[in-house]
Amino acid sequence: MRGLYVINTLRGYVMGEPEAIEIEQGRIASYSDIVSILYSEYTFNFEFSQQMPPENEKQVNPICLGRIVMSPQHAKFFSKLLSDVITGYEKKFGTISQK
- pLDDT tens-digit profile of 45-86? 999 998 877 666 666 778 888 999 999 999 999 999 899 999
| Domain residue extents for the chain | 4-22+30-53+61-93
Question: What residues contact 69, with CB distance under 8 A and at least 6 apart?
Answer: 43, 44, 45, 46
Stated pTM of the model: 0.66
Return the higher-pLDDT residue of 1 and 98: 98
* The pLDDT value given to residue 19: 45
Residue 75, CA atoms < 13 Å, CB-side half-sphere: 15
* The pLDDT value given to residue 18: 43
- pLDDT tens-digit profile of 11-48? 555 555 444 455 566 667 788 888 999 999 999 999 99
* The pLDDT value given to residue 28: 72
